[in-house]
Amino acid sequence: MLKILLQILTIFIFATPLYAENHFLPKVAKGFSISVYADVENARQLAVAEDGTLFVGTRNSGKVWAVQDKDNDGFAETKTLLLDSLNLPSGIAYHKGDLYIAEVHQVLRLKNILTQLDKPPEAEIVYSDLPDKKHHGWKFIAFDENDFLYIPVGAPCNSCNPDDEQFSHLRKVNLTTKQWTIIAKGIRNTVGFDWHPTTGKLWFTDNGQDWMGNDKPADELNRIDRDGQHFGYPFIHGKSTADPKFYVQRPKLLKTSPPALELQAHVAPLGIHFYTGKMFPRKYINQLFLAEHGSWNRTSKVGYKVLLVNIAKDKVISSETFLSGFLEKGEVLGRPVAFAELKDGSLLVSDDFAGKIYRITVSKNL
């Protein structure tokens, strides 16, 4: 009898999933529901094609995926590996039928990707005028309405005064001529930006410096009002925190732009997204979702959530937690990264720690 019980127990143990993250779901704001849309290891930036195919970049895993929900049940049951063994391919963009992938040192393109998912074409290099430094070298990319590709180039350090013509800026690139223009300077590391749907102004996050203490400097949400603005790094952090080493080295005529919103130090803001879908209530239209990836070296962890930032007339009015539960009693369960919208207006959120992509919908009782 004991032998039979042991056999049953053995079968139960090996048949039961042992990974806690399989059962983890973040907590979403009242009136919304959340589910797992896809399992993708190290999921980072997301891009959606016109047929609903979701493309997923990664960082450390070096892979690019296409996932599809062919039966429209809210879960992407098909996952196709497009590229492997790349150099931190965090940033991706889908534009006019082609998929663009940003490595640290170059941008690749897979042409007419939707017609070749089963047998992806050979990737071609479309832009390579980028530094090869991995420190803050992974990218977030996007095209504007005039077909310029926007690429951030982070500082190659935690704290230094690099040549801002090569580092610490956001540039836009004409992929036909390969000519590029700096849009904004004084940026330590942005891994997320988006254009306001009505004003057209570009907003972006910036990760503040480490090792200045638990509570400084502030991380930032910024707004670009004109080309060439300087956002402070490495001279000034947040609205007014002078750098102890580099403030005295600032050019005398340099004018810096304060952030539109100071965030708590070390929350590590990454992707942002202005919601334009039709599923969520009206108060969410044209408002900003912001992913706080979470701290890595603070005494007590902070971040690990998604904020809803309310904006009116180019000013931040308020912010509130929309998605939480990634951090429970000091234990990290997930880390939100980036967003995408599906045609039905549901919102996708990637999580590179849990290896999930979540789908947020409106509850029936809202």
pLDDT at 365: 59
Average pLDDT for residues 151-170, to the nearest whole number?
Answer: 96
Q: How confident is the model at residue 164 (pLDDT cuts 50, 70, 90)?
A: confident
For the chain, give the percent of residues with pLDDT over 70.
93
Give tens-digit pLDDT for 45-77: 999 999 999 999 999 999 999 999 999 999 999
Average pLDDT for residues 264-285, to the nearest whole number?
Answer: 98
Alpha-carbon distance of 301 to 320, in angstroms, equals 18
Average pLDDT for residues 218-229, to the nearest whole number?
Answer: 97
Q: Which two tokens stand for residue 30?
A: 């009242």
Average pLDDT for residues 356-361, to the nearest whole number?
Answer: 98
Smallest CA-to-CA distance from 124 within 105, 143, 110 is with: 110
pLDDT at 101: 99
Q: Kindly report the CATH number that applies to the domain delimited by 34-362.
A: 2.120.10.30
Asked whether residue 20 carries a pLDDT value surpassing 80, the answer given is: no
For the chain, give the percent of residues with pLDDT over 90.
92
What is the average pLDDT value for the chain, to the nearest integer?
Answer: 93
Asked whether residue 296 carries a pLDDT value surpassing 80, the answer given is: yes
Smallest CA-to-CA distance from 193 within 238, 148, 126 is with: 148
Whether residue 199 contacts residue 226, with contact meaning beta carbons closer than 8 Å, is answered with no
Number of other residues whose CB lies within 10 A of the CB of residue 29: 17
pLDDT at 123: 98
pLDDT at 366: 55
pLDDT at 253: 94
Q: How confident is the model at residue 179 (pLDDT cuts 50, 70, 90)?
A: very high
The more confidently predicted of residues 1 and 27 is: 27
Give tens-digit pLDDT for 88-140: 999 999 999 999 999 999 999 999 999 999 999 999 999 999 999 999 999 99
pLDDT at 194: 98
DSSP state of 164: T
How many Å separate Cα 85 from the centre of its chain?
21
Alpha-carbon distance of 194 to 338, in angstroms, equals 11
Asked whether residue 21 carries a pLDDT value surpassing 50, the answer given is: no
Q: Is the peptide bond before 234 cis (omega within 30 degrees of 0)?
A: yes
Q: Which two tokens stand for residue 235?
A: 């001279």
Edge-first strand order for the sheet with 98-102 is 91-95, 98-102, 107-110, 124-127
DSSP state of 20: G
Alpha-carbon distance of 131 to 177, in angstroms, equals 19
